[in-house]
Amino acid sequence: MPLDQKTLLATVKEAKEKSEKRKFTQSIELILNLKEIDMKSPEGRIHEVIELPYSLEKSNKICVIASGELALKARRANADLVLERAELEGLAGKKREFRKIANDYDVFIAEAPLMPLVGRILGPVLGPRGKMPVPVPPTADIGSLIEKNRKTIVLRMRNQPILQCRVGTESMKDEEVAENIQAVLRVIEGRLKKGMKNIRCAHLKTSMGAPIKIKP
């Protein structure tokens, strides 16, 4: 199922035009229906973090869990939330508080030595949401990691052979949305045994709009 740039541009344009105008900027979502997938194999458990060429209008909110120097650097790099060991330990048992953190932040980055503690305290909440932290060494260039993860999306297959993710917003240029779609498709093609042949059909939709089929 080859999806060239011209086809994608036409579909992005159609999805925008056919979407009723709202009082907020709608996201544009890509939906892939897959076929001939063994849901018990690794390809049936796709969980990919993809860096998009173009940031979505609403950047990811980043929570860094770190201590000492790394925590200081994370604050300087404008992480949206920095949790140090004492603060993390203080969350133990406070389900409402760490559910709020899990919902409010999109990407979690944790200093590797703190991962066992993170797993014990936040794992039960972050795991089911597909938000387990990216472990990094204490010497990591946290500024670059924060910047990179502001542009990432998470692509996750749950119990059905369907993948859905945001690839843009109404206010972005059609070309930017199309390039973001291509970036997602390149990753998926590499993860599936038969590549694009494993895609039964693909659709684009705005948050409140009807799905528009991408016709190769």
pLDDT (tens digit per residue) in 51-76: 899 888 777 899 999 999 999 999 99
User: What does each C-alpha distance from 213 to 8, 147, 210 come to in angstroms?
Assistant: 10, 33, 10
Instruction: Name the 3-class secondary structure at 11.
Output: helix
- What's the whole-number mean pLDDT along residues 171-185? 93
Question: Which segment, 16-30, 60-74, 119-133, is predicted with the most confidence on average?
Answer: 60-74
E strands in 158-198? 162-169
- pLDDT greater than 60 at residue 140: yes
In this prediction the pTM is 0.73
- What's the whole-number mean pLDDT along residues 104-123? 93
Domains 5-57+151-213 and 62-149 equal at CATH topology level = no
Neighbours of 165 (CB within 10 A): 19
E strands in the chain? 27-34, 47-51, 62-65, 81-83, 107-111, 134-136, 152-156, 162-169, 199-206, 212-213
CATH of 62-149 given 3.20.20.70, 3.40.50.790, 3.40.50.1370, 3.30.1330.20: 3.40.50.790
- pLDDT greater than 90 at residue 113: yes
Contact 54, 179 (CB under 8 A): yes
pLDDT (tens digit per residue) in 28-40: 999 999 998 888 8
Instruction: Show the tokens assigned to 45.
Output: 């458990």
Look at residue 2 in the predicted model and tell me its pLDDT: 55
Torsion of CA 122, 126, 127, 128, to 10 degrees: 130
5-57+151-213 falls under which CATH superfamily?
Answer: Ribosomal protein L1/L10, rRNA-binding domain (3.30.190.20)
Handedness of CA 164, 168, 173, 175 (dihedral sign): negative
- How confident is the prediction for the chain on average, in pLDDT? 89
Handedness of CA 17, 180, 194, 134 (dihedral sign): negative
Instruction: Show the tokens assigned to 33.
Output: 């229906």
Instruction: Show the tokens assigned to 135.
Output: 């472990």
Beta-carbon contacts of residue 142 (< 8 Å; ≥ 6 apart): 64, 66, 70, 73, 74, 77, 79, 109, 136
Torsion of CA 64, 67, 70, 74, to 10 degrees: 40
- pLDDT greater than 80 at residue 147: yes
- pLDDT greater than 80 at residue 84: yes
> Where exactly are the structural domains of the chain?
5-57+151-213, 62-149
